[in-house]
Amino acid sequence: MLIGIPKEIKNHEYRVGATPDSVYLFVKEGHTVYVQMGAGVRIGFSDEMYKAAGGTIVPTAEKVYEAEMVLKVKEPQTSEYPLLREGQILFCFLHLAPERGLTTHLVAKKVVGIAFETVSDPQGRLPLLTPMSEVAGKIAIQVGATALQMVHGGKGVLLGGVPGVAPAKITVIGGGVVGTQAARVAIGMGAEVAILEKRLSRLRELDDFFGCQLTTLYATPRSIEEAVLTSDMVVGAVLVPGKLAPKLITEQMVKKMSQGSVIVDVAIDQGGCSETSRVTNFSDPTYIMHQVVHYCVANMPGGCARTSTQALTNAVLPYALSIANLGYKKALKADQGLLEGLNVCLGHVTHQHVAEGTGFAHTPAAEFIHE
């Protein structure tokens, strides 16, 4: 199969759809890979590295989009729409449910759009979203530690303390992927850490895993308030799939937090779990409200684009190889979880949530996997 790896053009997007290692594996299986010139250069993957891996460096996006499968990171941007072709496989993050405009284009172009974010595994987890949550969870503590410094409006507390001085107190709300990775880093830096979670089974797993290094607390409005008011840093890491994040931290609570405390609201991409959160970006990542520093960047993994690319491509590669080796119909037929990734196909919307979100009729994905 001819596979195309374009350079991402979304603002400040430095991730890339395949590393030189991925390209090597595609080529080893007999595929041809077009890599757009400079696609990975900003994160240390030079054109020479892709060439050495067996890729073909092409000068333009037009050439990359000659491919049967375009493997990228972000959804196509407006200037990429004309490059899409009927029957072309587009494998990337699509986030179509709130995007009727993009969905309309993909339907009109009759592409086969497989969205990273809806591919699932046999346990019902989302294996292509998990690596980004792992990265975001770890970044949360790094950025929170910086925000706690005086120069950023923080209260001047060092996470791990020093001999004779208590460490910082960190509360993580939500004990899923983001929360667990945030806790790992926070504990590793010597902070005093508590996770609040509403699933008791998850609290048990966390307790087994971290032992007495972590305090696990059942999340109720009262336990959340008590933890938030006594913390130096609060990490918002809740998710109710397909819904806006619940506002678990009220403005009243934030007003009562001590001056220079920090809220890192990772759940901001779902609206945030604090009433005081509003989206920020890398150019101006924090703001202060009620004397509390807020960090609310909605695409945190982009900040560590090299690690994120490696983590994402590790997870994506087996699926992309299966599509390349078998063709999309056989690959989707062989893996129910990958089939759930099919969002649009040959002029139809094939994912229930996307159909509901955009007002298109829903055609079951299973109708498109017959040879």
Shortest distance, position 148 Cβ to ligand NAD, whole Å: 19
Torsional class of 162: left (φ above 0), alpha (ψ -120 to 50), beta (otherwise) = beta
Instruction: Note whether 268 binds ligand NAD by CB under 6 A.
Output: yes
Which of 38, 161, 190, 246 is close enough to bind ligand NAD by CB under 6 A? 246
Which of 19, 270, 308, 309 is close enough to bind ligand NAD by CB under 6 A? 270
Sequence letter at residue 326: L
Strand-pair partners of 195: 172, 216
Instruction: Note whether 147 binds ligand NAD by CB under 6 A.
Output: no
Shortest distance, position 195 Cβ to ligand NAD, whole Å: 9
Query: Alpha helices, DSSP H only, in 189-220?
Result: 200-210
Shortest distance, position 11 Cβ to ligand NAD, whole Å: 15
21 in active site: no
Query: 90: buried, middle or exposed (CB in 10 Å: 19+, 13-18, 0-12)?
Result: buried
The one catalytic residue in 265, 269, 294, 351 is: 269
Nearest Cα to 92, choosing from 312, 304, 271? 312
What CA–CA distance (Å, rounded) separates 98 from 353? 10
Strand order in the sheet with 292-295: 214-218, 192-197, 169-173, 233-236, 262-265, 292-295, 286-289
269 in active site: yes
Of 178 and 262, nearer to ligand NAD (C-beta) is: 178
Query: 131: buried, middle or exposed (CB in 10 Å: 19+, 13-18, 0-12)?
Result: buried
Q: Which stretch binds ligand NAD (CB under 6 A): 69-77, 156-164, 195-203, 338-346?
A: 195-203
Residues 218-237 that bind ligand NAD (CB under 6 A): 219, 237
Of 245 and 305, nearer to ligand NAD (C-beta) is: 245
The one catalytic residue in 31, 95, 105, 351 is: 95
Instruction: Note whether 216 binds ligand NAD by CB under 6 A.
Output: no
The Cβ-side half-sphere exposure at 255, using a 13 Å CA radius, reads 4
Instruction: Note whether 315 binds ligand NAD by CB under 6 A.
Output: no
What is the contact surface with ligand NAD in residues (CB under 6 A)?
132-133, 136, 173-179, 196-199, 202, 219, 237-240, 245-246, 248, 266-270, 298-301
Tell me which residues are annotated as active site: 95, 269
